[in-house]
Amino acid sequence: MEVSQPRYRLGVDVGGTHTDLVLLNTSTGELMVEKVSSTPHNPALGVLNGVSKFVARGVDPNAIEFFAHGTTITTNALLEMRGSKVGLLITRGYRAVQEVQAQARDGNLFDYFYSKPEPIAPQSLTHEIAERTDYAGNVLIALDRETVRIAARALREAGVTSVAVCYLFSFLNQTHEEITRDILREEIPGVHVSLSSEVLPRIREWARMSTTLLNAYLEPVLVRYIAHLNSGLDDANVGTQQRFLMQSNGGVMPFKAAMEGGKTVHTLFSGPAAGAQASAYLATAQAPDGLVTLDMGGTSADIAFIEGGVPLEVTEGMIARRQIDVPALDMTTISAGGGSLAWVDASGFLNVGPRSAGASPGPACYGRGGTEPAVTDADIVCGYLNPDYFLGGAQKLDSAAAHEAIRIRIAEPLSLTPLEAAAGIRRIVDMRMADEVRVFAAKRGVDLSAFTLLPFGGAGAVHAAAVAEELNMKRILVPHRPGAFSALGLLCTDVVHDYIRSELRPLANVDAEHAEAIYAQLEARALDELAAEGLDQKDARFQRELDLRYTGQGYELRTPLDGLYADKLTADSVEAARNRFDDRHAQIHGHAAKDRAVEVVSYRVRLRVAVPKYVPREEAAPIKLRDVASAVKGSRQVYFDGKSATQATVYERDGLDIGAKISGPAIVEQFDATTVVPPSWTGRVDTNRNLILERGA
């Protein structure tokens, strides 16, 4: 009997300190996990190092038939302002839009010294072009092509490598922007061009311009990276062309779509989105009342809410003080990771972050030359981490270096013992995460009392119980492989593309045929792009939405049309959309103005193409449970209160059978993470091998 060769699907999540890889054997359902150091100077190298480790374990790279990748490369490039030199072409008379920006400002509203971020395209690289389209998409002034050529030559001489084009009302008629792109490519060979009519075809001039500028600034960075990674995968004999990149909206897009341009801004929350997607897909059944996710890695902690099995989503956001209006999972990020550095300020106060030790040199305990103490060093001093079992023993941690860094940098300046200083570091970072969750919940009207906390990332389960206690949460779900959970999320999603077109009009004046025509145009564009990406159009599924608002409002609500039509929209569909909008407005804002006229602001389409996913398999408890004592590795002193030692039992997680129960104080160790179980908590292993912790149970 011939034995079939195994086939694999690979998910890769690149973090600030470690790169996590999860390999799924599609025949057996077995998961293999690798964790390697990230390579900040070129993240592709860390990815390829991880792939080589699988190959060394006997995996045939040609048998990898699917590759999905979550990355923070565009986010980091923006935070560190390492993008490209960008030029901007705008309609004559509107060169000040980038300087004026919007009325809103971040931070303290009463800060007299507030200054806006530096423009991505300075005035010296901003050129006005004679052209004009009106609010209905009619051409009032034809495009002056010679002016475009003159501007292109000036930008070429200035060394510009990427150009943003943002003409007035181009979202209603993109002809002038398309002609401009053709001229730019003639005059500046190899230039990247971002058209606002493609990046964000919707109203609000500054939001559209800001999003387009961000795309132009970061697109060359992403394209270079993807090209390098593509080449490296080819050299490593990973033959599949099913190569995907995680997007901010929780879906993936093919590498080809990212390299062809116009979609770079959809990757700015790529890394954190994978973890939230994994939480929604894998853990909702175990927490039907809702989830708070806590993804604590090496440099940051990402927080999201999952309600009804779906992550909350937004269409407008800020990153690095810059506006970006594309669909994204509703998440918040704070500088609270294992590599976050502790320091004493000039006033003698202890601080943690925002600086991080990163992958190199890393925390002092990594032994790579780092002398500043990080959160991981504090975890070692308090006894939470085993220096001899980091990454399953593959990396030894220097406990003495952790103690010394905290003693010199923190304890002595504050007249504390190293233990007190370490406990203070942990307390600050735990309180910061709890406060962020509390504020995040209050803004969105979420009652945390019935929610389950889901920690993942390398450090999430170490700090989860302390965060839960601060929030008065009583239940924690630690996934089977918490350190690689985000990478697993890349095997749990579909190809997703979002499209939008703005057209302001009273809903009462919108007939069903007109709306259907707009949706047909958006869907035709989506199918064309799908074919260009090498995906089968027969697999496409569409979701339609309307952005609606009451007349006079300055904001709108996304109103899904699911269930309101069959093949085409009808007059009844439009009326039902109005009623659904009233209901959503009442749900979100507490009231509905049913006697007020409603306006259509934008039409939205989401394209979804299902791809094969990881399917978790429930396991039955063994007929005869192994004695929990067989999983005990020993015990060690842990300082839960930062003062007195508590003897905690240490378990090997893979030694705990389904149905096994443990009681705190305990430490549960595994290859990719450590779980802390305080004295007042108990734990049990469910049929999906999640570790369920409950307080006071």
95 shares its domain with 206:
yes
pLDDT at residue 107 in the model: 67
What does R_g of the chain's alpha carbons equal in angstroms?
26
68 shares its domain with 163:
no
16 found inside a domain: yes
Residues β-bridged to residue 86: 162
Distance in angstroms (rounded) separating the CA atoms of residues 137 and 626? 72
150 found inside a domain: yes
44 shares its domain with 123:
no
Residues β-bridged to residue 21: 12, 34
Q: How many domains does the chain have?
A: 4
479 found inside a domain: no
pLDDT at residue 23 in the model: 93
Residue by residue, DSSP assigns 510-521 as: --HHHHHHHHHH
504 found inside a domain: yes
Distance in angstroms (rounded) separating the CA atoms of residues 249 and 304? 13
65 shares its domain with 188:
no
Residue by residue, DSSP assigns 2-60 as: PPPPP-EEEEEEE-SSEEEEEEEETTT--EEEEEEE--TT-HHHHHHHHHHHHHHTT--
556 shares its domain with 636:
no
166 shares its domain with 99:
yes
97 shares its domain with 165:
yes
Burial track 320-333 (b if 16+ CB lie within 10 A, e otherwise): eebbbbbbbbbbeb
650 shares its domain with 585:
no
Distance in angstroms (rounded) separating the CA atoms of residues 507 and 404? 67
Residues β-bridged to residue 89: 127, 165
Distance in angstroms (rounded) separating the CA atoms of residues 385 and 382? 8
206 shares its domain with 236:
no
Residues β-bridged to residue 542: 607
pLDDT at residue 60 in the model: 93
11, 26, 66, 281, 559 from 614: Cα distances, Å: 10, 8, 12, 10, 31
H/E run at residue 575: helix 571-589
Q: Report whether 431 contacts 415 (CB < 8 A).
A: no
Q: Report whether 315 contacts 558 (CB < 8 A).
A: yes
Q: Is 330 helix (H, G, I), strand (E, B) or coil?
A: coil
H/E run at residue 150: helix 145-157
Whether the bond between 354 and the residue before it is cis, its omega within 30 degrees of 0, is yes
507 shares its domain with 603:
yes
Residue whose entry in the numeric block shows the structure tokens 């039907």:
288
323 found inside a domain: no
555 shares its domain with 644:
no
- Domain boundary residue, one of 609, 640, 660: 609
2 found inside a domain: no
Helix, strand and coil in the chain, % to nearest 5: 35, 25, 40
35 found inside a domain: yes
User: Residue 42 class from Cβ within 10 Å (0-12 exposed, 13-18 middle, 19+ buried)?
Assistant: middle
Query: Residue 521 sits in a domain of what CATH number?
Result: 3.30.1490
Q: At what angle do helices 512-532 and 571-589 cross, to 10 degrees?
A: 80
Range(s) of the domain holding residue 29: 8-78+223-267
Distance in angstroms (rounded) separating the CA atoms of residues 556 and 500? 14
44 shares its domain with 120:
no
pLDDT at residue 663 in the model: 95
For residue range 470-506, list pLDDT tens digits in order.
Answer: 999 999 999 998 988 889 989 988 889 999 999 999 9
- Domain boundary residue, one of 188, 205, 221: 221
Q: Which amino acid is at 559?
A: T
- Report residues of the chain scoring pLDDT below 70: 1-4, 106-108, 697
Q: At what angle do helices 43-56 and 205-235 cross, to 10 degrees?
A: 40
pLDDT at residue 4 in the model: 63
| pTM, 2 dp | 0.85
For residue range 164-194, list pLDDT tens digits in order.
Answer: 999 999 999 999 999 999 999 999 999 999 9
302 found inside a domain: no
Distance in angstroms (rounded) separating the CA atoms of residues 450 and 681? 17
- Domain boundary residue, one of 221, 252, 285: 221
